[in-house]
Amino acid sequence: MKPITVTSPLLPDLDEFHELLREIWDSKWITNNGSFHQALEAALCEYLKVPYVSLFTNGTLPLLTALQALRITGEVITTPYSFVATTHAIWWNGCKPVFVDIDPATGNIDPDKIEAAITPRTTAIMPVHVYGKPCDTKRIAAIADKYGLKVIYDAAHAFGVEVNGESILKAGDMSTLSFHATKVYNTIEGGAMVMHDAETKKRIDYLKNFGFAGETEVVGPGINSKMDEIRSAYGLLGLKQVDAAIEARHQVAIRYREALRGVKGITFFDDMPGVRHNYSYFPIFIDAEEYGMTRDELYFKLRDHGIWGRRYFYPLISTFSTYRGLPSASKENLPLAHKMADSVICLPMHHELTVEVTDKITTLISSR
């Protein structure tokens, strides 16, 4: 039996994709800011309700480039509860990550803990909208303004997420997205950066193309991180389906919650008031004492039945060899992040999950 995994890619209509591939083939323009690249940037600006978008070849490179573009140095306050690319981007820019504990109600960085981590060397904050749940952007903005810090949001999971009708991608100085195949919306591999003004977009577009500002002028030590025409075309077709995919995920979340709400020792996040969620993931948290089984015991039980969940995010970034020696990485500094990492399983969550499959998953969890 084919394993039931956490995600399933959003695939465009094959006939339509073939037509666009033929257009690209006939045009002989396959990369370097072609017509499909430009069209996808415009379409994403409209869909996401943001002024400027710059496309990248994956979701890590916009994080790297955002730090470079804002000339971030010294220390960057961030969360240990994320995918490791968040902190790697800080490290690659020669900066020092400073870890802050999380809010257990959301999994996001706790604004109450940020100020205590600020030093004279702090220049930026890099929060993460974990599982697509919005950070407390107003409180983070107030702290950043008070201390003169930049804010770059890792919004890899937050495609289309809104608070009271406004995109959370407008928060901070920049936000970055991942369009990896595991995401709600994908371009196979890909990513994007959201910024607020045309001048910043111009600089970002230079930096993602080796720093070239023309045929012979290089204005900075850029990198090659452009999205090609094929993936841009793929993304244009995927954008037609993303709303239906999000609604299908919503229905899966409803079924999970209805089935698991009364199971002792199992908790999960409910929707946040006023938020348009995209249902990127469906994490559950296991209290071993109440549930009668550890997180790992349940994880492997599900695997034995063909259900491949994911312990996401486990282990914490702060426990990896590159970062564990940092003073802020101590377990005593991050008790809530450790607790969440040690108890989480992300259940399969994608637009193709059937009632039969979700019933199988919830029955296995309930019948411990």
Domain boundary among 212, 238, 264: 238
For 29, how many CA atoms within 13 A lie in the half-sphere containing its CB?
A: 11
Alpha carbons 90 and 311: distance in angstroms, whole number: 24
Mean pLDDT of 21-49: 97
Alpha carbons 110 and 103: distance in angstroms, whole number: 5
Query: Same structural domain for residues 127 and 13?
Result: yes
Give yes or no for residue 1 having a pLDDT over 90.
no
User: How does pLDDT run across 225-270, given as a tens digit for each residue?
Assistant: 999 999 999 999 999 999 999 999 999 999 999 999 999 999 999 9
Q: Model confidence at 3, in pLDDT bands (50, 70, 90)?
A: confident
- Give the residue numbers spanning the domain of 77: 4-238
Give yes or no for residue 63 having a pLDDT over 80.
yes
Q: How many domains does one find in the chain?
A: 2
Q: Which of 281, 252, 244 is nearest to 361 (CA)?
A: 252
Which amino acid, residue 290? E
Alpha carbons 92 and 224: distance in angstroms, whole number: 15
**CATH number of the domain that residue 151 is part of:** 3.40.640.10
User: How does pLDDT run across 282-312, given as a tens digit for each residue?
Assistant: 999 999 999 999 999 999 999 999 999 999 9
Query: Same structural domain for residues 115 and 137?
Result: yes
Query: Same structural domain for residues 229 and 261?
Result: no
pLDDT more than 70, % of the chain: 100
The answer to whether residues 127 and 151 touch, using CB atoms and an 8 Å cutoff, is yes
Give bridge partners of residue 174 from the DSSP assignment: 152
**CATH number of the domain that residue 290 is part of:** 3.90.1150.10
Of 174 and 2, more confident: 174
Query: Same structural domain for residues 159 and 268?
Result: no
Two structure tokens written together for 354: 């059937």
Query: Same structural domain for residues 120 and 61?
Result: yes
Two structure tokens written together for 268: 């999960």
Query: Same structural domain for residues 125 and 167?
Result: yes
- CB under 8 Å to 248, separation ≥6 — which residues? 351, 352, 353
Distances (CA, A) of 313 to 84, 132, 222, 318, 323: 9, 14, 31, 11, 16
The answer to whether residues 63 and 154 touch, using CB atoms and an 8 Å cutoff, is yes
Query: Same structural domain for residues 266 and 178?
Result: no
